[in-house]
Amino acid sequence: MSDKNKAWDGRFEEANDPVFESMNRSLAYDIRMYKEDIQLNVAWSRELARLGVLTEKEFSSIVKGLAELEVQINEKGIELFDKSTEDIHMGIEALLATKIGDTAKKIHFGKSRNDQVATDQRLYTLRSIDELLSLLQSVMKSIYTLASENNGVMMPGFTHLRQAQPLQLSHWLMSWFFLLERDAQRLKDTLPRISIMPLGSAALSGTTLAVNRESLRKELGFAKISDNSMDGVSSRDFMLELMSTIAILSGNLSRMAEDMILYSSEQFGYFELSDKVSTGSSIMPNKKNPDSLELIRAKAGRLLGNYTALFTVIKALPSTYNKDLQEDKERLFDSLDTIKQVLHVTQTTLSTLSVNKSAMQKSIDPLSFATELADYLSAMKMPFREAHKITGKIVLDCIKEQKVLTEMTETDLLKYSPQFGGIGNDWASHELFLAKRDVYGGTGTSSVDRQLERAANVLDTLF
């Protein structure tokens, strides 16, 4: 028995198996592109009217009907559609027919769902990137604000998670800022390759109608039109590019979250997370857990998973449209939703963070000033390897004799080498440590000031 709700009714004698039918149905997730689909249908119908396929009267009833539908879908969502609706494209056409009658049956002339879905997805994605960029900008602003407010605060710097050399907290913060600047650049770089309009490609070979693709492009707001109809309907590299960019961004945020999880733990005590982004334990009344940061860390796995899933779907498909491509949507939409959530929570965490300056400064291990001694000897013309060895011996003695390295006076140091002459007793002051690291990019005072100036400029010009 034929299924009367299907658009391809004529060719079929039997209805679909119900489980296959539900597998085939994408409305639950592609409904989010209803605005783009309506916009596309209006633009396409305008061309149909220009070409005389539709009368002006038919065209205005289509435009009016679609505008009403947009409002209704916005209010009622999926409830508005017949339960058997396969996807948003069939759904809108069917709903339009219930409003304006047979005229609705003319709007699909010359187009295919293949160029339609590819166009909708590109439009939808373009709009989402604007939102992503503004969220990312807020995160970068919060980092910049924290760095400006805490400029001059010292903290331990780590390699291998062992104390290495002291740093300025603002330097640590700016390390994330400049990483995220590249993420923002990468996001912006995807735009020209997304802003390509496939509409007019029809199923695969190009539409038979003399549509003006240039007017369609302008109306829909694309930067250019696709050069080849087969490429137009089948390519999803724009999604892979964006999803890999999102995965890299989330990997970067995950690294920053990891530092913050450590730094806000009791052992470190550098940061206190606000209640807004912390959770308690169902059994231990004492607990305040950094679930926000842990989830930010975990979402990177999910986002890489989305990228990998879509890549795997696409990699061996024959030319051109294959239904496998319907699987692109959930992965893309999940990546967009997830990264928006991650950026929002990252921003809230940063903007509500308290910094425990004295805990940071107090926890700087005096031994992490050892390089200053080796550098001093080398500046006095001792070969660095020799200076390293002598300083290593001083460190070992400090550990064995429980002496504080930074409290060693010039007289103490002279016992190890006469070349310590002139070093003074203040050789391990923070001021001196910073003054020696004013190479641009270093943690020195004026270098960090310059980084902050550069960052302010990035915030003004990049977005």
3-state secondary structure 151-205: CCCEEEEEECCEEEEEEEHHHHHHHHHHHHHHHHHHHHHHHHHHCEECCCCCCCC
Which is closer to ligand ARG, CB of 87 or CB of 183? 87
C-beta of 31: minimal distance to ligand ARG in Å? 11
226 an active-site residue?
A: no
**Nearest-angstrom CA–CA distance, 460 and 46:** 40
Single out the catalytic residue among 281, 319, 358, 446. 281
User: Would you call 117 helix, strand, or coil by DSSP?
Assistant: helix
Which is closer to ligand ARG, CB of 183 or CB of 328? 328
Tell which residue, 22, 255, 7, 32, has the closest CA to residue 124. Answer: 32
Stretch that binds ligand ARG, among 33-41, 47-55, 111-119, 253-261 (CB under 6 A): 111-119
Stretch that binds ligand ARG, among 113-121, 169-177, 205-213, 412-420 (CB under 6 A): 113-121
142 an active-site residue?
A: no
Q: Residue 456 is encoded by which pair of tokens?
A: 């302010």
Please enumerate in sequence order all residues whose Cβ is within 8 A of that of 88, keeping only pairs 6 or more positions apart, or say none. 26, 27, 30, 31, 33, 34, 37, 120
Burial call 431-462: b when 16+ CB within 10 Å, e when fewer? eebbebbbeeebbbbebbeebbeebeebeeee
What track of x and - describes contact with ligand ARG for positions 14 through 43 (by CB under 6 A)?
------------x---x-------------
Which is closer to ligand ARG, CB of 12 or CB of 440? 12
Task: Check residue 85 for interaction with ligand ARG (CB under 6 A).
Answer: no
Which is closer to ligand ARG, CB of 30 or CB of 372? 30
Which is closer to ligand ARG, CB of 78 or CB of 223? 78
**Nearest-angstrom CA–CA distance, 426 and 442:** 21
C-beta of 59: minimal distance to ligand ARG in Å? 25
Residues 407-436 that bind ligand ARG (CB under 6 A): none
C-beta of 202: minimal distance to ligand ARG in Å? 11
C-beta of 321: minimal distance to ligand ARG in Å? 5
With contacts defined by CB under 6 A, how many residues of the chain interact with ligand ARG?
A: 10
Q: CB burial class (10 A; 0-12, 13-18, 19+) of residue 74?
A: exposed
Give 289's strand partners: 279
Q: Phi and psi at residue 186, in whole multiples of 5°? A: -60, -45
**Nearest-angstrom CA–CA distance, 305 and 326:** 17
Q: Which of 45, 103, 114, 245 binds ligand ARG (CB under 6 A)?
A: 114
C-beta of 217: minimal distance to ligand ARG in Å? 21
How many CB atoms lie under 10 A from the CB of residue 249?
Answer: 25
**Residue carrying the six token digits 């065209």:** 59
Q: Which helix (H) or strand (E) holds 224?
A: strand 224-225
Task: Check residue 125 for interaction with ligand ARG (CB under 6 A).
Answer: no
**Nearest-angstrom CA–CA distance, 265 and 288:** 10
Which is closer to ligand ARG, CB of 58 or CB of 87? 87
Sign of the torsion angle spanned by Cα atoms 50, 55, 58, 60: positive
C-beta of 319: minimal distance to ligand ARG in Å? 14
**Nearest-angstrom CA–CA distance, 62 and 64:** 5
Q: Which of 31, 96, 100, 117 binds ligand ARG (CB under 6 A)?
A: 117
What track of x and - describes contact with ligand ARG for positions 298 through 337 (by CB under 6 A)?
-----------------------x-x-xx-----------
Q: Residue 269 is encoded by which pair of tokens?
A: 């005590």
Which is closer to ligand ARG, CB of 216 or CB of 233? 233
Residues 260-289 that bind ligand ARG (CB under 6 A): none
Query: Which residues bind to ligand ARG, rule: CB under 6 A?
Result: 26, 30, 87, 113-114, 117, 321, 323, 325-326
Q: Active-site residue numbers?
A: 160, 281
